Amino acid sequence: MFAEIADRMPQLLSGTWITLQLTVYSAAVGIVLALVFGLMGTSAHAWVRRVARVYVEIFRGLAVLILMFWFLYSLPLLGLRLEPMFAGVLALSLNIGAYGAEVVRGAILAVPKPQYEATIALNFTTAQRLRRVIIPQAWAAMLPPLTNLLIQLLKGTSLVSLITIVDLSKVADNWRGNTGNSALAYGVSLVFYFVIAQILVLIMRWLERRANRRLGRATPSRRAERATLPAAGGGA
């Protein structure tokens, strides 16, 4: 058994690399989308909020796989041909960005009103207030739900195996195709995903501790956060 795993190691590692790249790129684009649409959701102007709402509803409501297929197969018929990697990252980012926007919006609205009033008294503009006072405070509250979304994103990257990208899932699939040893192939890849997930969680927890330290408070207990989290979706 171990010999077989060792044989497969090069592919497993290259598949893992693709998976990590997809995760990081989609997370990067996703956080930008989340910040943009999340902030728009807190705007004083109703039409700005409405645009953000439409984005969130549509890209949260769509299954990621449908979006991916549409980008890869339908878009060419409209004249735009996308590389599979690009289609994959685009679909994942748009989806995770929509979930992220809700997290950002919620965290910003949760910053206590007196903080806003203090910035009014000191004559901050909206942009200054958000950048200097509100978002730094909201950031610490955002990190636990964003950690869940990051894991959701990791799971979502497995869908690219269905649009011809050789990520970790596709490697496992090929492995099964070649040797018929499905339990080992899929089992090992699940373990790889699990390890990646735990590492990502550790990184996020470190960021959380740092953010809370900057606010001068101890990290709240894990239990308290888990109780209030709605479950994140699987790969969609």
Partner 1 sequence: MGGISWDWNYTLQILPDLIRALLEVTVVVTILSFVVALVLGLVLAIVMRTPNVVVQQVLRWVMEFIRSTPPLVQLFFVYYVMPHLGLTLGTITAGVVTLGIHYSTYCAEVYRAGIEDVPRGQWEACRALSLSTRRTWLGVILPQAIPKVIPAQGNNLISLLKDVPLLAAIATPELLQTAFEAGNKTLSYLEPLTMAGVLFLAVSIPASILIRRLERRFGH
Partner 2 sequence: MDTDTNGAGGTIIHFDKVVKRFGDNVVLRELDLSVRPGEHVTLIGPSGSGKTTILRLLMTLERVNGGVIWVDGEPLSHMRRGDRLVTADERHLREARKKIGMVFQQFNLFPNMNALRNVIEAPVTVLGKPRDEAERRGRELLDMVGLADKVDAHPTQLSGGQQQRVAIARALAMEPKVLLLDEVTSALDPELVAGVLGVLREIARTTDITLLCVTHEMGFARDVSHRVMMFDQGQIVEQGEPEKIFTEPDHDRTKAFLKAVLEER
**What residue ranges bind partner 2 (CB under 8 A)?**
114-115, 117-118, 120-125, 128, 132-133, 136-137, 214-217
Stretch that binds partner 1, among 43-51, 102-110, 136-144, 149-157 (CB under 8 A): 149-157
Does 20 participate in binding partner 1 (rule CB under 8 A)? no
DSSP, res 163: G
Closest approach, Cβ 217 to partner 2, in A, equals: 7
| Residue 1 interacting partner from partner 1, partner 2, none (CB closer than 5 to 8 Å by kind) | none
The one among 161, 165, 208, 211 contacting partner 1 by CB under 8 A? 161
Q: Is the dihedral of CA 71, 76, 77, 79 positive or negative?
A: positive
DSSP reduced 3-state for 71: helix
What Å distances lie between residue 156 and 2, 48, 64, 149, CA to CA?
28, 29, 8, 10
| Residue 236 interacting partner from partner 2, partner 1, none (CB closer than 5 to 8 Å by kind) | partner 1
DSSP letter for each residue of 17-47: HHHHHHHHHHHHHHHHHHHHHHHHTT-SSHH
Alpha-helical regions (H) of the chain: 2-40, 46-61, 64-69, 84-109, 113-121, 126-129, 135-157, 168-179, 182-214, 222-228
Does 220 participate in binding partner 1 (rule CB under 8 A)? no
How many C-beta atoms surround the C-beta of residue 20 within 10 A?
A: 17
DSSP, res 133: I
Does 61 participate in binding partner 1 (rule CB under 8 A)? yes
Which residues ranging from 166 to 195 are in contact with partner 1 (CB under 8 A)?
A: 169, 172-173, 176, 182-183, 186-187, 189-190, 193-194
The one-letter code for the residue type at 123 is N
The one among 57, 110, 122, 220 contacting partner 1 by CB under 8 A? 57
Give dist(CA 156, CA 178) in Å, integer: 25
Whichever of 116 and 186 has its CB closer to partner 2, that residue is 116
- Interface characters, 73-92, with partner 1 (x: CB under 8 A): xx--xxx-------------
Q: Which residues bind partner 1 (CB under 8 A)?
A: 57-58, 60-67, 69-70, 73-74, 77-79, 151, 154-159, 161-162, 169, 172-173, 176, 182-183, 186-187, 189-190, 193-194, 197-198, 201, 223, 226-236
